[in-house]
Amino acid sequence: MASTRVYRNRPVTLTLGSIRVHVLSDGVVWWDGGGMFGLTPKVLWQRVIRPDELNRVPMMLRTLLVEAGETRILVDTGIGDKLPDKARRQINLQGRDRLLQDLATLGLGPEDIDIVLLTHLHNDHCGGNTRLDEEGRVVPTFPRAEYWIQRRELADAMFPNERTRGTYFRENVEPLMQSGQLRVIDGDTDVVPGIWTTLTPGHTASHQCVVMEGGGEKAIFLADAVSWGVFFERLAWVPAYDLEPMVSIHTKKRLARWALRHNAWLIFQHDARFGVGKLEEQDGHYLVRPLEASRSVVEEVRSND
């Protein structure tokens, strides 16, 4: 009797004055724990998250739906459904249209999205940009949306190197160029009043986070700058995927100081345990206090094989 663990994001909504931030998800993928935790020995990281028999750990694919006045903004689009079946099996991706289903629970369809903000162009963050239509053509998933991408990130994605080739896919970007839906931004950029993007390099050279402010409160979507809470608590823990690990550590220190100064809500994109928390400092160490309502649903499912 085998048993597998199933993780599900628990959607929560943060209200910042007139801005509403819904923490949604495009499901869960299982990735190699060594890639996720980099140089950190397994005996340490397996206390944070238990790997499966293939040494994979669950990674949540959180995205945001932000309502700001009349504007509906999606932040990242998950991994989408264009991967072939073999690749889906390798990462244990279950179900289809996961993000679209989460949007539907808010009463929203793909045509309701005005802006898609992309933190960077790795496939697990922008695979949902595009989808296969009935004839098998790759088309934009959100037909009315303008997709915002950093100029340097776009260049890196269009001309990948030996190391980045496995996660930068033209089919996530080119259809947006052809349809005229791509907007290239350069550096920190205001989106609408109370919402802006800010460069947070390290994971990629032009990785960006998204900051939301209203009603005297701030929240930040950390994406792969700090994708699990423990990466704040252990500043030396840096994923093997990060292209510039020392820059990642510098970025994390800067973000930690900012988070403490503003008592900001922190939204962790890949943390399988919880999605939202706040940072505290105790005896010179950082500690992430989870928002209880954002703890993932975890089930042990028994199977007869």
Strands annotated E in the chain: 2-8, 12-16, 19-32, 56-68, 71-75, 115-117, 130-132, 138-140, 146-150, 182-185, 189-192, 195-199, 208-214, 217-221, 265-267, 276-282, 285-290, 297-303
Between residues 194 and 202, which has the closer beta carbon with respect to Zn ion? 202
| Greatest alpha-carbon span in the chain | 60
Length of the chain counted residue by residue:
305
Between residues 153 and 224, which has the closer beta carbon with respect to Zn ion? 224
Min dist. Cβ of residue 216 to Zn ion (A): 32
Q: How many angstroms separate the CA atoms of 73 and 178, rounded?
A: 21
Between residues 202 and 214, which has the closer beta carbon with respect to Zn ion? 202
Between residues 205 and 260, which has the closer beta carbon with respect to Zn ion? 205
Between residues 156 and 213, which has the closer beta carbon with respect to Zn ion? 156
Which of left, alpha, beta for 150 (phi over 0: left; psi -120 to 50: alpha)?
A: beta
Chain centre to alpha carbon of residue 117 = 11
Between residues 59 and 182, which has the closer beta carbon with respect to Zn ion? 59
Q: How many angstroms separate the CA atoms of 234 and 254, rounded?
A: 14
b/e for 271-291, b at 16 or more Cβ within 10 A?
bbbbbbbebeeeeeebebebb
Between residues 26 and 224, which has the closer beta carbon with respect to Zn ion? 224
Q: How many angstroms separate the CA atoms of 204 and 265, rounded?
A: 23
Min dist. Cβ of residue 237 to Zn ion (A): 16
Min dist. Cβ of residue 224 to Zn ion (A): 4
Min dist. Cβ of residue 119 to Zn ion (A): 8
DSSP 209-254: EEEEEETTEEEEE-GGGS-STHHHHSTT---TT-S-HHHHHHHHHH
Between residues 224 and 271, which has the closer beta carbon with respect to Zn ion? 224
Min dist. Cβ of residue 209 to Zn ion (A): 12
H-run or E-run covering 260: helix 245-262
Min dist. Cβ of residue 258 to Zn ion (A): 21
Min dist. Cβ of residue 59 to Zn ion (A): 10
Summarize as ranges the residues that interact with Zn ion (CB under 5 A). Answer: 122, 224
Min dist. Cβ of residue 125 to Zn ion (A): 6
